[in-house]
Structure 1
Amino acid sequence: MDKENLTETSWMNAPESNSAAIGEADLNLLHDARRRVIEELGKIIVGQEEVIDEILICLFSRGHVLLEGVPGLAKTLMISTLAKTLDLSFSRIQFTPDLMPADVTGTEIMEEDRATGHRELRFMPGPLFANVVLADEINRTPPKTQASLLEAMQERQVTAGRERHQLDDPFFVLATQNPIEQEGTYPLPEAQQDRFMFKIYVDYPSFDEEFEVARRTTGTATAEAEPVLRGEEILRLQQLVRQVPVSDHIVRYALSLVRQTRVGGEGVPDFVEDLVGWGAGPRAVQFLILGGKARALLQGRHHVQVEDIQALAPPVLRHRMVVNFAAESEGITSDEVVARIIDATPTTEDELSRDARFQKIFAS
C-alpha cells in the first residue's frame, strides 16, 4: 500500500490486541451496552430496530453513517436521541446552499490584547468539534462545503491555516439526505460517499408502529432518554471490536463479494458486467470485516460468521457500486445486484477453493 493510502486509512489501522483476551465479561459488556441504548431509544423512537442496530455497529466500528429516507421518518430525532443516550457532546449542522466550509469546521479570527496591543490569530472551533455530529440534509449544500467534512471524517482533525486541530474521540458523523425534492440539491460525490461506512435506508413504519407513533405523539405524556454510556466506555467497546478474531475464510468470503462488483475483473459474473458501471474499492472489504466483528459481539458471539458479512453487504456496498443505464432502465438497484452476488457466492471454504471462477478471482 502506498503512503497516500496508508494516510487515508490510518484511523482504521490501529494495532489490534490479542484476540484471546475477549472473555465472557467483555462479550457481556457490549451486549449489555446495546440493550441499554436500545431501551433508552425505545422511549422516544418506535420500531426501526434494524436501522438502530446498523448505527450501533458503525459507532462501535469507528465508522460514519449516511441515512437516507423521505421526510418525517424521525431520522433527526433518532440521531439526537442517540447522542443523549451516549452522554456525548452533540452538534447539529443544518446544511443549506449558503453554508460555507468555515461555518462547519471553524475559522481563525484576529484577537487583540487590550493591555499590550498585541494581535494574534486564534482559532474558533466550529460545530464539527463535537463527539456526535448530525449533518442534516447534507445534499443541500454545495460540494465545497460537503468536502469540509472529509478530513474530519478520515483523519479526525481539522486544518485551519497552517495549524491542525485534533477532534475528540469518540467522533461519529451521521449525515441525512432525502431521495425526493432533488431540485436545488447537490448529490454527494461517490468519493465522499465512500467515507461513510454504511448507507442506511430508513423505511416507512409498519401499521402497528405508526399506530404507536400516533398514540404517543398526540397526547400530553413526554419521555426523555437518559445517558447510559460515557465516552471512555465507547472507546473501550471500540477496542473490543478490533479484538474479535476473524478467520482467513471469512476474509476471503468478504473479498469474493467485493471483487465481484468490479467490472472487467477475473471471474466477475456476467450479470455484473451487464448491470454495473463500476464497483467497490478496498475500503468496502475493511468495513465488511470490521462491521462483521461488531455485529458478532452485539449478537453475543466471539467470532465472525458468513451471515454477518451477508447481512452487512447491502449497507456497505450500495453506495460504493454504481449501476449503469441498462440497470436503471430496468429498475434494478444496487441492492438487487448485491443480493444476486451473495446468491452466486459459495459460503463454505471448500466450495470457494474448488470453484474455478473464484480461483480466478483469488489469483487476479
Structure 2
Amino acid sequence: MAIPALPADYSPPASTSKLTPFVTQPKGKLIAAGPAFLAHLHITRRHSGDFKKYDAATAAEREKALAASGNGNGEEDDLGVGNESEDEALLSLDPKEWKKQDHYRVLGLSHLRWTATPEQIKIAHRKKVLRHHPDKKASDATSAALGLNLNTNDDAFFKCIQKAHEVLTNAERRRQFDSVDPAFLEEVEDVPSASDFKTNPPPFIPTFAPIFERESRFSKNGTAPKLAVPVEGDAKPSDDPNDIQGHDFPTLKAHVEAFYDFWYNFDSWRSFEWMDKEVNEGSDSRDDKRYTEKKNKSERARRKRDDIARLRGIVDLCLSVDPRIKHIKQQEKEAREAKKAAGAVKKPTGPAAPPAKSKQQEEAEKAKKEEEEQAKVDAKKAKAAAANAAKKARRAQRAAEEGA
C-alpha cells in the first residue's frame, strides 16, 4: 500500500492543550535522524512506500539467512532428527513403567536408534520439550481461547521424555538399554530356519547379510567382517546372490575362512542388566538385597548363554547352506585331482622304457621262468631228502652203538 502525499495547502492544526510543554521548542532547524527515520527512508526509497513489498523482501532475507546457517531448505538444520508422529499409545505411556518404554520412540529417534549421536539426542529432546512442556501447554493461546485444558495427563508423557533423555545421555545406561533394544528383539524373530532352504531356498547374500549386519553392533572385538567379499577401489560389487562370481579363488577362500572364524569366536558386549529385577521398595533387609542380586546375576548369565546359543545357531545354519563352501570344496577337489594326474604323467623319470615284447618272447620267458621255479622246487626236495637220509643214518648208528 503506497502512502499518499500530503496536499500542498496542508498545515498542521494548532494545539488546543492547556498544558505547558515539558520541553520547550529548541531554536534552530531540526535534523531528521534515528531508526524510525531510517526505516521510513528504507520503505519509501527501496520499496516505493509499499508495505507488501517491504514484508516480502524482509521474508526473503530471513529465508536466505536461515538457508546460509541451516540445511538449505529455509529451516534450521536438525541433523536428520525430523518429526516423528505421536500416536495415542505413545502419549498415554505410564512414567512409572519407564523400563518398558522405547526411549528412542519417545524422543522421536526410531529411525536412528543406536546410531543416534549425542547431538541428535539433544536436538530431539529440545523439540519434545518445546512441544510437551507443562508451561507450553498452559500458555497455548488456542486452548485458552476455547477454554480447554490440555494438561489433563498430569504431564505423564513429559516425565517419559525426561526419563528417556536421562537414559540415552548416560553412556552406561544407554548401553544397557541397547542390549535389549525392543526393535532388535522384534527383528531377531525373522531369522530363517533350516526348513526354509530345503524346497525353495532364498538367495544367500540378501538373506543373511542383513542378519549379520544387525548382530555386528554388539561386537566387542572391533568391526565385524561383512558376509559379502569386499571389493577394492572402484570395482563394482558382485551381482551374484551367492557371491561367487567376480572373485578369484584365493581371495574368496581367505575371506570366507576369516568370516566364520570371527563369528564362531564372536564376543558380545550384551549384558542384560536392563532386565534386572528391582529390590522391593521399603525393604531394608540385607538378605532380600543379596538374594535379588544373586538372582539377577544368574538370570544375566542364563540370558547370555541363550544369546550365544542363538547366534551360534545362525552361524551354523549359514555355514550349512553357504554355496561358497561347496564351491571352495569343489575347487580344492579339482586341484587335488589335477595335481595327482600331473604327478602320474611325470612319474617315470628314469631311463627310457624297453620296447614292447612279442607274444612268443613272452611265452618263452614264461616257460623259462616256470622251469627255473621247478628246478628250485626239485632242488629243495632233494635237499630235504638228503637231510632225512642223514637223519636216519644217525639214528641207526646211535641204535647200533647202544646195542653194543
Flag the structure with larger Rg: 2
Same fold (TM over 0.5): no
The structure showing larger relative contact order (alpha-carbon pairs under 8 Å, at least 6 residues apart) is 1
After TM superposition, the score normalised by the length of structure 2 is 0.21
TM-score, normalised on structure 1? 0.23
